Amino acid sequence: MAQDGTMTIEISYATEADIDDVASLFEQYRSFYGKAPTHDARTFLEERVAGGQSLVLVARDGYRVVGFAQAYRAFDSIRLAHEWILTDLFVDGAARGRRVGGGLVDALVTSARDNGAHAVIVETEADNGYAHRLYESRGFEQARDTGRSVRYALHLRDHH
């Protein structure tokens, strides 16, 4: 517990035991983008975690999962290296303003760096000012702006 009496947020890798909690947040995340709830979402997450197909991080406030991030490994043939693409980042409304999103991004960057990735890439909607400030505050640089979305990159290693 923090000195101010609030619980400390802890970030860890998701396990199969976390699937139900993450799936609940995943449904809220999908709803934000106008998608209807479906049992397929839970199955989708379960397959990604069980198969090691993606990196899923969870943020916990005590025993409650209050946020998650999901990233996929991709390969860059030109640089002969791999990168992580952050596709999903969501924080429960009750936990917003507590730097949970930033903690998840920081943990993802640390994991990517520790595993030899040359970059972390993320794309967000052009009108999502909060996300832009979050990524820019962590050193991500704008790589592309389509008018509808903005792609950011954080280069971790110099590959030729």
Q: According to the 3-state scheme, what is the secondary structure of the chain?
A: CCCCCCCCEEEEECCHHHHHHHHHHHHHHHHHCCCCCCHHHHHHHHHHHHCCCCEEEEEEECCEEEEEEEEEEEEECCCCEEEEEEEEEEECHHHCCCCHHHHHHHHHHHHHHHCCCCEEEEEEECCCHHHHHHHHHCCCEEEEECCCEEEEEEECCCCC
In the beta sheet, which residues pair with residue 68? 58, 90
CA-CA distance, 55 to 15, in Å (whole number)?
10
Number of domains in the chain: 1
In a domain? residue 2: no
In a domain? residue 1: no
Q: What residues make up the domain containing 121? A: 9-155
Confidence of residue 3 (pLDDT cuts 50, 70, 90): very low
In a domain? residue 41: yes
Q: Which CATH number fits the domain that encloses residue 128?
A: 3.40.630.30
Pairing of strands 81-91, 119-125: parallel
In a domain? residue 98: yes
CA distances from 36 to 67, 84, 91, 132 (A): 20, 28, 19, 26
Question: Which tens digits make up the pLDDT trace of 13-27?
Answer: 998 889 999 999 999
CA-CA distance, 66 to 82, in Å (whole number)?
29
In the beta sheet, which residues pair with residue 85? 72, 121
Question: What is Dmax (Cα atoms) for the chain?
Answer: 50
Residue 34 backbone dihedrals phi, psi, to 5 degrees: 85, 15
pLDDT of 113 strictly over 90: yes
Q: 121, 80 in Cβ contact below 8 A?
A: no
The predicted model gives 40-55 an average pLDDT of 88
In a domain? residue 4: no
pLDDT of 30 strictly over 90: no
In a domain? residue 160: no
Residue with the larger pLDDT of the pair 122 and 38: 122
In a domain? residue 109: yes
